[in-house]
Every structure is written in C-alpha cells, then in structure tokens.
C-alpha cells in the first residue's frame, strides 16, 4: 500500500509534486507569530490621535519624556562607573578578595529592582530603622534634621544602578579578559602606567562591549515598572499603565507604548552602529596569562572598597534585611496561600521556559539549515521582544487575543447562538505567549551559541547516515548542547519568575505569583510581609548568576 506523503504539495499543471520546505516557510511564520506583540504596538503609530492622546501630549507627556531621559542618563552614568571600574580591578589588579569579587559582583543581578526599592524604602523611610536610630541617638524630632528622600527620581537612579551595573561589569570584564597581552605590554614599554594604559589602550578596545552592556542596562531601565511606580516617578511605563487602567483608553496607551519603543529602537540602532564602526585585529599573545598589577597598602584597600561597596549595597545589605523581615514575619507569611503562590510561580516559569526553549530551538536550527535573508531577518525580528518592556508586550498580546476572542464569539453567536466569552484573553495561555515573546532572545542567543560550536561536518555525516534534519537535531545536537540548553532554561525560568508588569496585566483573575504578591504587599506598605516572596525570587536568581560568572571565568587564566 502506498502511503500519502503530506510533506509534498501538488501544484502546477504538470502534476509534478513540489515539496513544502518547512524550515524555509514554517520558521519565518513562527518567528512572525513570536514578533506579533511588537508589530501590533508599532502599527499603532498609523492610527489618528484621539482626544485622550492629545490631552496626554498637552499635559503629562513632557514629564514622562523628561523623567525617562533623566532616569536613563543617571543610570547610564552609575552603571558605567560601577561596572567598568570593578571589571578592570577584578581582571588586571591583585588585591585582597579579588577572586571572590570576580563572581560575587554579579549577585546584584539576582535582585530585581522593585525588590531592592521596597527594601531600602523600609530601611530609610521616616519610620525605618536608620532614621529611628538617628532620632534616638541625637534626640531629634520631626523637622529637626535633613535626610535624603528615597522615593524620588534620584532614589530610583541609585536603586536601578545598584542592580543593573552587572550588565556592564559582565561584558566589560569579558572584553578585558580577551584583550591581547602584547598590546598591554607594549603600552607599558612606551611609558604608560596602569591608569594611563587603562584609559589609552584597554578602555578603547573594550568600548563596544561596554556600550553593549550599557545598552542592556538602559533597556532594563526603560522596562522597569515596579521601582518607578513605587517611588512615584512619572515615566513611560507608569504613564502607559495609568492611561490603560485609569483612563480606560487602550488606543492612547498603545500609542504611548509605540513612542516608548522608538526610544528602545534608537538604543538598539546606536549600539549596532557603535559595533559596526569598530575593527579588531588579533596581535598575538592571547594564550598567555594576563598580567596582574599588584596593589599594596592604601591602593589595595581602595580597590577592595570600590568592589565591596556595590556588592554590599546592591546585594548583601538588602538580602540581609529581607532575611530579617522574613524571619520576623515567617509565622504570618508562610501559610497555604504562600505555597499556592510558589506553586503558581514555579509551574508558570517552568512551562514558559520549556515552551520558549523549544521555540528557540526550532528558530535557531531553521536558521542553521536555511540561512536565507528571509529566515535570518524573521528570526532577528522574533528576538526583538527582549528589548521591549513587559508592559508594552502585554498591550501587544491583549489586542490580537481580544480580537480573536471577539471574532470567535461573534461567529458562534451568529451561527449557533452560543456565547463563547473570553477563550484566550485573561488566561494562562495569553500570559505564556507574552513570556515567550518577551524572553525569546534569551533562549535564542544561548541556542545559537551552542549550535555555532558544532561543526557543519557533523550534520553532513549524520545526513549521509540517513538522518533527517529533526533526527540530526535529536541525536547529534541536543546531546552536545545539553549544558547550553540547561543554562538557557535557567535564565528564562528566572526572568519569568521576576517579570512583574506583564504578569500584573495579563494574569487570570484570582491567579497570583510571587512577584505580583510582593508588589501588592509593598504597595500597601506591608514591607515585612512581602519579604518572604521577595526573598524566594532573589534566591531563585542566584544560580544562573553564578553560572554566568563561571562561564566567563573559564575564558582565560589570570595571574
């Protein structure tokens, strides 16, 4: 009996079968589906402006733009100063604690910005322990002293800088590790001291990597919602949320989101332009150990302080405060509802990580099999979601899902007199799709890096032995990339666990996660009660951070 081959599509008058190229057609289609939220938001710029939009433009839009730009400038300066200085000291200087700082300086990356904001607010507010101790020591009363206001634009800059500098530190340190010994030694023979060698040679060579890290930090700054909302700073993210929920105008909220995306795209273009103008030439000596400038006395302790202070204020102090609150509120917070929150968060994060990784595998492998401009361009578009804030992704998801629900409901009413209601909007399916669109780039970059290490000759050998493309992927690539896939899975898992705005908007009714619960309790000033959920999120983020540090540490030996 002859079986019908569904992999062939019969076209043309001659009756000759033409095979359907799944990898050449299906991969771009899947990539465009993943990019749907971004494309939906971008298309809103074509809509005519409504009354609400004109009102926003005349009243609060200048404040949104100004505060967002000031926030980005402040965080940019803060992350550059902290990240670059710590990366240089930990890579090319020898001082007490350097080996610990090399990996520990990444720990603030596990601390979401909104959680560190809640923690410092609880410590530094008028009723917090710091001001209470000052009043007790000096017998001060209200109005007798000045204390910096934590809930301000400056406070948001400090909070975001403390948790985002690891992006700059990570890429800057990797760039310093990969630099040629010959170039550094040549600068020393020409009379350059360590500082002049750093500013004249090492820093310009590492500039593209530093700019890439800075771009990531600034995109995370644009995406932040919990910190600026809690501190009362009017930015694009808070404006979008208020326009959507407060004014009830989805169109104006979408146009705000599109304007915000223009800033994101501008950052991406600037980063790409910076990298394209750079040229690298290997000068030899890359296999030799990097030189180490031995610091002694005051310089050694100064280097120790420069590295210790970001770690202390960005992770150790807030983690200790969270731990103290969690112990005090353990009996009140650790109950059945907390276990349900933990279950919801873990199941949601695991499902999103597996779906995102599976989709990334298809996209990356399709790009490997069919490296055509169409496939490559579609995959790159699918990776744009990571550069877009979660709140914007939520808007881009709810619009097509609501349209789909209304279309199905209208058809069922017209033909069967049955009201289907909301089948997709406000469900876990919509939330999972938003996570996939938001964090596809995280998994995709990891999978592409893993596939890039596998020689094409291994694919050819497997195909000669009779394996189809899926068989090659299953029998050859997946076993080789097991470690890479696990890393990608962990990174997406933690990102989903920390994601707040998309979860806050798209979660089903009566469905909460650890991130949403921590935000709700902190917003109601129940900081101690929110600590257990916040501490669980921080603990989950530590393992991937350590894996990242170990990965770049293996790149090269340091003296």
CA angle at residue 118 from 511 to 239, to 5 degrees?
A: 70
For residue 516, report the phi and psi dihedrals to the nearest 5 degrees. Answer: -65, -40
Does residue 329 sit in the same domain as residue 431?
A: yes
DSSP β-ladder status, 293-294 and 8-10: unpaired
32 HSE (CA, 13 A, CB side): 7
Say what angle helices 36-43 and 22-34 make with each other, to 10 degrees. Answer: 60
Boundaries of domain holding 183: 48-279
In a domain, 422, yes or no: yes
CA distance 251 to 258: 11
- Do 259 and 342 reside in the same domain of the chain? no
What are the two backbone dihedrals, phi and then psi, of residue 475, each rounded to the nearest 5 degrees? -95, -25
> Tens digits of per-residue pLDDT, 292-322?
678 888 888 999 999 999 999 999 999 999 8
Of 279, 303, 337, the domain-final residue: 279
In a domain, 115, yes or no: yes
For the cut 60, the answer to whether the pLDDT of residue 279 exceeds it is no
Is pLDDT of 129 > 70?
yes
Burial environment of residue 376 by CB neighbours within 10 A (0 to 12, 13 to 18, 19 or more) = middle
3-state secondary structure of 18: strand
Q: How many structural domains are present in the chain?
A: 2
| Pair (215, 351) in one structural domain | no
d(C-alpha 359, C-alpha 372), whole Å:
19
* Distance in angstroms (rounded) separating the CA atoms of residues 463 and 467: 5
Q: Is residue 346 part of a domain?
A: yes
Instruction: Of 164, 297, 270, 254, give the one whose Cα is nearest residue 212.
Output: 270
Calpha distance 52→167 (Å, rounded)? 37
| Residue 347 and residue 198 share a domain | no
Q: What percent of the chain has pLDDT over 90?
A: 16
**Residue 245: alpha-carbon gap to chain centroid:** 25
What pTM value is reported for the model? Answer: 0.81
d(CA 459, CA 454): 9
Among 211, 245, 279, the domain-final residue is 279
In sequence order, what DSSP letters do the residues of 446-472 get, joined into one string? HHHHHHHTS-HHHHHHHHHTT--HHHH
For residue 342, with 0-12 CB atoms within 10 Å meaning exposed, 13-18 middle and 19 or more buried, which class applies? middle
Residue 192's CATH number: 1.10.3720.10
Question: pLDDT per residue over 399-437, tens digit each?
Answer: 889 888 888 888 888 888 888 777 888 789 999 999 999
Do 447 and 347 lie in one domain? The reply is yes
Mean pLDDT, rounded, for 76-80: 94
**How sure is the predictor about 75, in pLDDT bands with cuts at 50, 70 and 90?**
very high
Q: Is residue 193 part of a domain?
A: yes
- 40 lies in some domain: no
Quote the pLDDT of residue 287.
46
Classify residue 152: in a domain, yes or no: yes
Are 215 and 271 in contact by the 8 Å Cβ rule? The answer is: yes
Residues 268 and 342 in one domain: no
Question: Do 500 and 380 sit in the same domain of this protein?
Answer: yes
Mean pLDDT of 157-179: 86
366 & 229 share domain: no
pLDDT at 355: 95
415 located within any domain: yes
For residues 210 and 266, membership in a common domain is answered with yes
For the chain, the average pLDDT equals 80
Lowest-pLDDT range of 376-390, 502-516, 545-559: 545-559
Give the residue from 228, 262, 279 where a domain finishes.
Answer: 279
Instruction: Tell me, yes or no, whether 397 lies in a domain.
Output: yes
How many other β-carbons are positioned within 10 Å of the β-carbon of residue 389? Answer: 25
pLDDT for 14 beyond 60: no
Instruction: Give yes or no: residues 271 and 325 share one domain.
Output: no
Of these ranges, 41-45, 61-65, 295-299, 507-511, the one predicted with the greatest mean pLDDT is 61-65
375 and 456 within one domain: yes
| In a shared domain, residues 264 and 336 | no
């Amino acid at each position: 009996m002859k079986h019908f081959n569904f992999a062939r599509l019969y076209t043309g008058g001659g009756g000759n079968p033409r095979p359907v190229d799944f990898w050449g057609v299906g991969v771009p289609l899947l990539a465009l589906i993943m990019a749907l939220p971004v494309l939906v938001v971008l298309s809103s710029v074509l809509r005519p402006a409504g009354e609400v939009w004109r009102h926003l433009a005349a009243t609060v839009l200048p404040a949104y733009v100004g505060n967002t730009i000031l926030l980005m400038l402040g965080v940019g300066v803060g992350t550059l100063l902290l990240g670059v200085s710590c990366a240089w000291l930990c890579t090319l200087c020898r001082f007490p604690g350097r080996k610990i700082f090399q990996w520990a300086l990444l720990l603030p990356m596990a601390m979401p910005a909104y959680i560190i904001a809640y923690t410092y607010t609880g410590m530094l507010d008028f009723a917090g322990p710091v001001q209470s101790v000052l009043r007790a020591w000096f017998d001060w009363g209200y109005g007798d002293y000045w204390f910096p206001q934590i809930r301000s634009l400056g406070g948001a800059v400090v909070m975001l800088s403390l948790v985002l500098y690891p992006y700059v530190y990570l890429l800057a340190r990797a760039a310093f590790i990969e630099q040629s010994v010959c170039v550094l030694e040549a600068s020393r023979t020409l009379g350059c001291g360590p500082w002049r060698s750093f500013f004249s040679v090492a820093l310009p060579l590492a500039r593209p990597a530093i700019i890439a890290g800075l771009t990531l930090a600034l995109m995370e700054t644009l995406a932040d919602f919990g910190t600026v909302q809690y501190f009362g700073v009017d930015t694009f993210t808070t404006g979008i949320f208020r326009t959507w929920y407060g004014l009830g105008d989805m169109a104006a909220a979408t146009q705000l989101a599109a304007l915000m995306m223009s800033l994101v795209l501008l950052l991406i273009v600037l980063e790409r332009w910076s990298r394209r103008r750079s040229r690298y030439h290997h000068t030899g000596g890359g296999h030799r150990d990097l030189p180490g400038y031995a610091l002694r006395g005051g310089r050694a302790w100064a280097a120790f302080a420069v590295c210790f202070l970001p770690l202390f204020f960005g992770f150790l102090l807030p983690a200790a405060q969270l731990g103290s609150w969690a112990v005090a509120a353990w009996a009140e917070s650790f109950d059945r509802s907390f276990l349900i929150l933990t279950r919801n968060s873990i199941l949601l994060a695991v499902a999103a990580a597996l779906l995102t990784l599976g989709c990334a595998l298809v996209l990356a492998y399709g790009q490997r099999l069919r490296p055509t401009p169409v496939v490559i361009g579609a995959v790159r578009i699918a990776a744009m979601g990571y550069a877009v804030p979660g709140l914007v992704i939520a808007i881009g998801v709810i619009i097509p899902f609501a349209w789909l629900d209304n279309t199905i409901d209208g058809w069922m009413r017209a033909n069967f007199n049955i009201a289907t209601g909301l089948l997709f909007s406000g469900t876990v399916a919509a939330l999972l799709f938003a996570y996939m669109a938001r964090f596809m780039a995280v998994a995709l970059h990891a999978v592409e890096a893993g596939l890039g290490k596998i020689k094409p000759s291994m694919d050819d050998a497997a195909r000669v032995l009779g394996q189809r493309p899926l068989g090659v992927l299953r029998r050859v690539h997946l076993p080789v990339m097991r470690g890479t896939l696990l890393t990608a899975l962990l990174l997406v898992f933690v990102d989903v666990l920390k994601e707040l705005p998309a979860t806050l908007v798209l979660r089903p009714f009566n469905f909460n996660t650890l991130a949403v619960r921590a935000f709700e309790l902190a917003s109601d000033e129940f900081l101690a009660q929110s600590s257990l959920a916040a501490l669980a999120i921080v603990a989950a983020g530590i393992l991937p951070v350590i894996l990242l540090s170990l990965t770049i540490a293996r790149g090269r030996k340091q003296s």
